[in-house]
């Protein structure tokens, strides 16, 4: 017998899959729940201190997108590092002299901040190289060998290369055993949020029945970033027909903050509405989630349920989007 629904709504609560765990972020708190090697759920709850509370201008539309994206990157790396500590690599070699020197000369908190900052920088740098720099240089090589190739054709090929590289990247990640488990937790996160939004009691049976693709997923966000960047660059390069690869790369970089800002507002809008138009607009990004979300087992859903429970605000409706 189906359990009775309380109400249906859209929540602002979002999450991230970790190594054998889930991060959930609500309007007041964020919670990390990890299942350790003994099978116990370990909880870590922190009150949120948002930068927009100190600088309200950073919460304005088209500014909040870039700020929230960077904040999510930092928060995500910190959470991943925390979850990874429960599953150390037993075959890891002894610390190098450089690592020992760092531990002796840099305080623990400062060293952790440096590692997080470096990880975020490397993550952004790798993404920029794969999805922005590499397609630009590959199409630049095309013009080198075929100088008569039309510039509009170059724009089309450059856009297609971005999508192909993104799909290949997701496919290869999904084939890795450890990443596959993270993507199962990703599915548990989506299903649990859907269950909560449907107003159903947060039980494993209710969560299991929910879909695993969510319109506010980070995979969809990244795909829309690529798509919006293709649209913006196509318009810009239609008016200013740059052929130099370095100049084109610079223009792409300059457009990126605007692309992220517009994409963030788009995701907020489609996340609030469910109609024929939003379903069509989100369909490509939802399809991409076939690579990054898989069906979870019961233990993963238990982890996601507990993480969500810890961030639900006491004031009913405060997390409503």
Task: Give residue-wise pLDDT tens across range 87-112.
Answer: 876 555 555 555 555 555 565 566 56
CA–CA separation, 111 vs 29, rounded Å?
25
CA angle in degrees (0–180, nearest 5) for 197-187-225: 85
pLDDT for the residue numbered 107 = 57
Distance CA 233, CA 306 (A): 43
What's the confidence (pLDDT) of residue 42? Answer: 95
Given a cut of 80, whether residue 119 has pLDDT beyond it is: no
Q: Are 229 and 256 in contact (CB under 8 A)?
A: yes
Of the candidates 60, 61, 14, 107, which has an alpha carbon nearest to the alpha carbon of residue 304?
Answer: 14
User: Which pLDDT value is given to residue 242?
Assistant: 77
Question: Concatenated DSSP letters for 69-116?
Answer: HHHHHHHHHHHHHHHHTTS--TTPPPPPHHHHHHHHHS-HHHHHHHHH
Average confidence (pLDDT) over 213-223: 86
pLDDT for residue 261 is more than 50: yes
Structure confidence by residue, pLDDT tens digits, 12-42: 899 999 999 999 999 999 999 999 999 999 9
**Average pLDDT of span 238-254:** 85
CB contact set of 321 (below 8 Å; sequence gap of 6+): 9, 10, 11, 12, 268, 271, 272
Phi and psi angles of residue 14, each rounded to the nearest 5 degrees, phi first? -135, 170
The H or E element that residue 34 is part of is strand 29-35
Per-residue pLDDT at 2: 44
- Most confident segment among 50-54, 167-171, 189-193: 189-193
Range with the lowest mean pLDDT among 85-99, 198-212, 307-321?
Answer: 85-99
Per-residue pLDDT band at 203 (split at 50, 70, 90): very high
Find the largest Cα–Cα distance for the chain: 68
Q: Is the confidence at residue 136, as pLDDT, over 80?
A: yes
Residue 180, pLDDT score: 92
Contact 9, 315 (CB under 8 A): no
Count of beta carbons in the 10 Å neighbourhood of residue 309: 15
Signed CA dihedral, 47, 80, 113, 71: sign only:
negative
Residues of the chain above pLDDT 70, percent:
89
Alpha helices in the chain (DSSP H): 51-54, 64-84, 97-105, 108-128, 134-145, 151-174, 177-197, 204-208, 218-239, 245-272, 276-288, 298-309
Q: Do 211 and 191 touch, CB atoms closer than 8 A?
A: yes
Over range 251-279, report the average pLDDT.
86
Average pLDDT over residues 190-196: 96
CA-nearest of 59, 36, 13, 4 to 321 is: 13
- Going by C-alpha positions, the residue among 141, 119, 139 that lies closest to residue 252 is 139
Tell me what the pLDDT averaged over the chain comes to: 84
When pLDDT is cut at 50, 70 and 90, the band that residue 43 belongs to is: very high
User: What is the structure's pLDDT at 106?
Assistant: 60
> pTM for the full model?
0.84
């Amino acid at each position: 017998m189906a359990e009775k629904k309380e109400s249906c709504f859209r929540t602002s609560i979002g999450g991230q899959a970790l190594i054998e765990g889930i991060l959930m972020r609500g309007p007041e708190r964020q919670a990390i729940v990890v299942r350790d090697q003994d099978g116990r759920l370990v909880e870590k709850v922190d009150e949120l201190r948002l930068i927009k509370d100190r600088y309200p201008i950073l919460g304005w539309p088209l500014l909040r997108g870039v700020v929230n994206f960077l904040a999510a990157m930092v928060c995500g790396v910190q959470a991943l590092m925390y979850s990874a500590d429960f599953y150390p690599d037993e075959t890891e070699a002894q610390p190098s002299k450089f690592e020992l020197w760092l531990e002796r000369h840099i305080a623990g908190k400062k060293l952790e901040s440096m590692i997080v900052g470096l990880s975020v920088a490397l993550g952004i740098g790798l993404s920029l190289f794969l999805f922005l720099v590499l397609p630009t240089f590959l199409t630049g090589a095309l013009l080198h060998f075929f100088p008569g190739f039309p510039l509009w054709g170059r724009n089309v090929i450059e856009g297609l290369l971005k999508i192909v590289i993104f799909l290949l990247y997701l496919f290869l990640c999904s084939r890795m055993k450890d990443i596959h488990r993270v993507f199962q937790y990703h599915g548990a996160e989506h299903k649990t949020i859907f269950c909560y939004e449907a107003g159903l009691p947060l039980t494993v049976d209710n969560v299991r029945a929910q879909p695993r693709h969510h319109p506010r997923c980070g995979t969809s966000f990244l795909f829309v970033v690529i798509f919006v960047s293709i649209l913006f660059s196509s318009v810009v390069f239609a008016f200013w027909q740059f052929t130099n690869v370095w100049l084109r790369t610079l223009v792409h970089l300059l457009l990126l903050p605007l692309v992220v800002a517009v994409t963030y507002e788009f995701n907020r809008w489609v996340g609030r509405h469910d109609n024929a138009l939003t379903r069509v607009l989100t369909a490509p990004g939802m399809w991409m989630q076939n690579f990054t979300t898989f069906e979870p087992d019961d233990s993963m859903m238990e982890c996601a349920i507990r993480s969500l429970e810890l961030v639900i605000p006491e004031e009913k409706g405060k997390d409503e989007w």
